[in-house]
Each structure stands twice: as C-alpha cells, then as structure tokens.
Structure 1
C-alpha cells in the first residue's frame, strides 16, 4: 500500500471516530510501528490531525467542539485505569457520591463496584449501566433525567431539579480540560450547568483528569482549580503543570499506569 493510501485510511478513521491508536493501525495496515508514526507525523504537519500519546485525534477545534464517547474511550486507556484505581481508594464505604459523565468516570465506576454500601448519583448512562450490571444489591444509583449529550450525559431542567436538594459526601468529576485561569472546563454548556450543580451539592470534590487535559479550555467553567480537594492525574503530566496545580488544588495525586507499581503514586498539595 502506498503512503498516500495509508494516510487517507488513517484520516478516514479519524474523521469517523475522532481518534486512532498506533497499535490498531499497525495491525490494520500491516506495517511497522515506525511507519505508522511517520504517517501520523506527516498528517500532523499538514494540520489534519493532532498526535497524542499512543495515537492521534482530530485537530483541536473551537471551545465548543466535543468528541463522542466512543472516540474518547480509545485514548489514554492505561492512564485512565491508573487514575480510576487511585480514585476508588479515596472513596469511603457507605458514602453518598456523585459521579459525572465521561470516559474516565465510566472506568472509575468499574472500580467502585468493590466499595461497599455506596449511594451513587449520576447523570451518566454509561456509569448507571456499570452498576446496573453489577451483582451487588447494596448500591443505590439515582439516574437523573434530561437531554443526552455526546458524552452520554443527561442534562437539562429535569436533571437540574433532581440535583437541587441533594447533599453528597463527594463528587467524582471528569473534565474536558483544566487550565490555571479557566479552571475545570467542558465544551457543552448544558453539561457545565449540570456539573456545577453537582459541585454545589457536594462537600468534597475529586477531579479525575489525565495529562492531556492540561491546557485545554472548553467554553464553560465547571469549577475553579482551588475548589478541587484532590486532583488525580497520571505520570504524563508535565512538571510545569504539576507546579501550578499543586499551588491551587488541595492535593495532587499522580497515579502510575500498570507496571509502575500500585504503591508508586506521588502526592503533593498546597
């Protein structure tokens, strides 16, 4: 297959799903890892995609651009699992918790099935399904209603009313982006409104965000950095970002991906 043909196939998949993984492309195209990476370099130089760790995504667009759940679920998988394991350790048995929508929260839900006595409030169809499929009977999931977003979140007036009188011990929040001045953001205005309501209803806030979220700014802020009690990210988070975050969040936890050792997480805080 000619290089031009390979690159057109890569672009076709990026346009269709929003993201590609190097390992998948090696298998699909029958070429080496280095050949795929050269193709991605060439496509990035033309502005047709953006390289990320382990693959590539569609080029960054406006602050309202929001990839679908399936596209985001292929990115930073190992990092998201490391983050989810660490977040689950921070949740006390018997807590009433909120869990937002997104790919990282849906992975966190898998790990929370081992925490006894939880009451889980979520506006995520994916999160609700995780607990619905669980054999456990001591967990309550209150699924709020409303309109569905690309992240499979339910938002809107009905969802907001259902959160209004809640008092949660803890909110586990996934984010689209985090920035020193903009705080934790999302590209969806209605999802931002819903998440702000969940933040307001919660005594403590844990944000789960892999390193690619740093520097990304969506159109709407859900919470400032200093509202976050614990931020859990991964080892790919650059040193400058760690310094900024450690000054603003209550505690910064760096979770190691599989192979790094479960006890190797790094903690800093203000």
Structure 2
C-alpha cells in the first residue's frame, strides 16, 4: 500500500530508513511505495544526497559507503556503485593477465568486473573465492563453440558480499601458486592499507595474497579513506594498483610512493596512465 499524504520530511525519513535497511532502493520502487511522482522521488533523493544520508546512483540510491568500519553491503547493493569507473578499471586490469597463467580473482564487484573481461581467455586457469565469478565463468548460456577459462573454486562459507571464506577456503588456497591475483578491497588508506569489515574475509584475502606471485588491487576512488575493522594488506605488498582518475592527488601520490605500479584510468575514455 502506498504511503500517500506524507509531508516532504516524512517521505525523506522513510526513504532514508529504507535505503539503510535494504542497502539500496530504486526510484520505481519508491514511486509505487510512496504514491508520488518520479520527479518528487528524485528531488527527495537529491535532498538526502546533499546531507550525505544516501548516495545517488543511476535509477536509485544506496547507503553511503565512506567511513564505515563494520558495515558491509551485499554484492547486489555494491554492484551499482561507480559503474563507469569499475568498467575502466576492469579493462585496464585485464591487460595485466598474461597468456597461459593461473589467475586468482577475489570477491568484490570490481574484481568480478575484471573476471567478465576474461570470459574468452581459454588459456587461463582462474582460482576464485567469489560465487558470482564462479557462476559467470561456469555459465551454460554461452554461444555454441565459446569456451571459458578453467575455474577452480576454493570452497568455504559465504559472506554477504558473496565471498567464500573461512578455514576450508584458507586451507585450499595455502596449497596453491597463483601468477597474478586480482584483488578487490572494501577500503584503502595511507594508515590502514587494505581493509574489510569481515574478519574471515580479511584472513582469506591474506591467504590469497600469500599464494600470489603478483598482486593487482582494483579499487575506485570512493574506497580511499574507508577503513574497515580488519586490515589484510600493506600498500607496499601491492605490485599493481588500478584505480580511476577521480582519486585525489594526495591519494595518488601516496599510492605512487608505496605500490609497485600505479595505473590510473579515465572513467570517461578508459585510457590508463602509469606511475
């Protein structure tokens, strides 16, 4: 039933509650729920976004990510964040994958985006603890004659972000040798390095890093300054860091001084610069 007749502040309070409870909402859902026009909903979202209560995305809004040490939105909620930046980062990161190699792909929506660029690379073995990555590589609805890379799934217990973690995953990973790890992260900062709200995921990410000859972190500008409860990697342990050009100059300078190679892509053109 639509919540009709609400005043603007009441609508916005309800929208804010829905966004934070569900992780995100669509404009079409709010139009139906509130019984108001599309334009009214968009004005309400603009007002909430100005206060930092929500983050506007195409077609709706998400709970804001920055600064949350304990909050971990689900995979679907995170998949709508910064789509242009993720696409450009994924294009650049996929170029780091050498023919005939064993590639680790961690959980996370940006790492998933990289995996989608590898669907036709039949010369690869992909090791992953990501359920969406495994499902994408094993999809049965491909064109006839189109194969995918071989895939090895670590096993483990799933998290909200669709990562397989825990002792089973860590034990499986410890016996492997990976040429390149594509690694996503909840947040990164000068002080804390790479971090996540989930202790088990942090432990599994450390296991992935330990078995990799090279580590390529993929993270857009919105992750800078976000510090999760559990750290899992130092910036100096990263061989390649792929991010977008909306990352501020100070952050780029910190990364350039600490990681092996900084690759900054334009989310508009997709062209990378390296440092």
- The TM tier, using the shorter chain, reads 0.7 to 0.9
Is this contact kept in 2: 1:254–1:265, CA < 8 A? Answer: yes
Distance 1:22 1:178, change over 3 A: farther
Aligned pair partner of 1:81 in 71, 83, 87: 87
**1:98-117 to 2 correspondences below 5 Å:** 98-117=104-123
Shift of 1:38: 2.5
Shift of 1:26: 9.2
Residue number in structure 2 paired with 1:188: 198
Aligned pair partner of 2:75 in 45, 69, 73: 69
RMSD (CA atoms):
2.6
1:173 aligns with 2:183: yes
1:30 aligns with 2:35: no
Distance 1:198 1:69 in 2: 20
Total equivalences in the alignment? 260
1:4 aligns with 2:4: no
1:261 aligns with 2:266: no
Is this contact kept in 2: 1:177–1:213, CA < 8 A? Answer: yes
SS in 1 for 2:81: coil
**Alpha-carbon deviations, 1:43-95, whole Å to 9, x = none?**
x3xxxx25477755247675222111121112111111111111111111211
User: Which range moved further: 196-205 or 18-27?
Assistant: 18-27
Aligned pair partner of 1:57 in 55, 63, 77: 63
**Alpha-carbon deviations, 1:230-256, whole Å to 9, x = none?**
111112101111111111011111112
Shift of 1:2: 4.1
Is this contact kept in 2: 1:92–1:115, CA < 8 A? Answer: no
Structure 2: gaps (5+ residues): 1-5
Is this contact kept in 1: 2:240–2:261, CA < 8 A? Answer: yes
Distance 2:249 2:27 in 1: 26
User: Which range moved further: 245-254 or 110-119?
Assistant: 110-119
Spell out structure 1 runs of 4+ moving beyond 3 A. 19-29, 32-36, 50-56, 58-62, 134-138
Give the alignment's TM-score, normalised by structure 2: 0.85
Aligned pair partner of 1:219 in 213, 226, 229: 229
Distance 1:22 1:240 in 2: 35
Give the alignment's TM-score, normalised by structure 1: 0.86
Distance 1:96 1:6 in 2: 51
Aligned pair partner of 1:96 in 81, 99, 102: 102
Distance 1:158 1:36 in 2: 43
**Alpha-carbon deviations, 1:122-163, whole Å to 9, x = none?**
011000001011644452111111111111111111111111
Structure 1: gaps (5+ residues): none
